Amino acid sequence: MELEGKIAGRETSLKRLGKTINWEALADVLMARLEYRSGAQGGRPAKDPGLMLKLCVLQSLYDLSDEEAEWQATDRMSFRCFLGLSAADTVPDARTLWKFKERLGPEGVQAIFDAFVNQMRAQGLEPRKGKMIDACIVEAPRQRNSAEENAAIKKGERPASFDENPARGRQKDTDARWTKKRGRSYFGYKNHTKVDVRSKMIEGYTVTPASRHDSQEVEALVKEGDGYLLADAAYAGEPVEALLQERGVESYIHEKGVSGHPLSRTQKSFNRMKSKLRARVEHVYGWMRGRGQRLVRSIGLERARRCIGMCNLVYNMSRWTYLKRGAGC
């Protein structure tokens, strides 16, 4: 008890995260989303969804596997305090955590993400006229497939050889794709995000295979009322410009030179001015990469959407805690 008192009395980033977020409201969203029943229904009772959400947050925040999340929550008193558990309470095991995440799914994470954005706005976050969009590659474990198997995957088919050995087939990711960036090849997915220029809060996201071009997600991310949009030259082009004009969003996308028509000195100057603001979106991805979010340790697009969506949610939670602390709240 003395140790618990010492830890509870120390101000830490994890403690501030626990105090700043309205976890009860998010737990209510989970109760409705996962259709948990109240009261005794017979059989073994389900774990508290609020507790399980906090465990998922710890897992994403510290880049832990299911087994390591269980152990760290058992071993570290600071984790127990965040979870609201005493030294005598039992931590949900790795299997329970895995089942909860499977039941939650990408749609459940999206529902929690949207609920938290609404929670921030209710607490004083004002959406500004100015957004940034960009995409970050999240690698997946590389596959060692034959040429025939890769050809079938590109056609959208699952090779029959994967299911000849079920143990091998379960480890095969047929949704991830290859892409190239600055001459280097990557295999995995992309995290497309729309970020507020001033607060650097993520307001929306989509997750796709890495082969999907960045500009193809503009339609899903940009909404009327966004004011103006900052993006790098990958988003330049008539289709995007037409979409922005249709939705009343002013374009501050970097201009791109073409063969025989290089950028003028004035255009380069404007691009540099845009970069000073657009660079803020890289801070978001830098935060994620600093916490191990370079690799998705799951199989398939649905689980990648869940894992990457949870990372976006945890970033917003940490960023909101930082902003609230700066405001003296």
DSSP 83: H
CA angle 41, 47, 51 (to 5 degrees): 145
Q: How far apart are CA 116 and CA 3, in angstroms?
A: 32
Beta strands in the chain (DSSP E): 131-139, 177-181, 184-196, 202-209, 228-231, 250-253
Write the burial class of residue 164 (CB in 10 Å: 0-12 exposed, 13-18 middle, 19+ buried). Answer: exposed
- pLDDT for 294 equals 84
- pLDDT for 182 equals 87
Q: How far apart are CA 328 and CA 200, in angstroms?
A: 19
pLDDT tens-digit readout, 142-176: 888 888 888 888 888 888 888 888 888 888 899 99
- pLDDT for 48 equals 87
Could you say which residues of the chain have pLDDT below 50? Answer: 40, 42-43, 328-329
- pLDDT for 212 equals 95
- Per DSSP, the three-state class of 180 is strand
pLDDT tens-digit readout, 220-256: 999 999 999 999 999 999 999 999 999 999 999 998 8
Q: How far apart are CA 145 and CA 261, in angstroms?
A: 43
User: Which domains are seen in the chain, by residue range?
Assistant: 2-117 (no CATH), 128-140+179-295 (3.30.420), 145-175 (no CATH)
DSSP for 114-178 reads HHHHHHHHHTTPPPPS-EEEEEEEEE-PPP---HHHHHHHHTT---GGGGTSHHHHTT--SS-EE
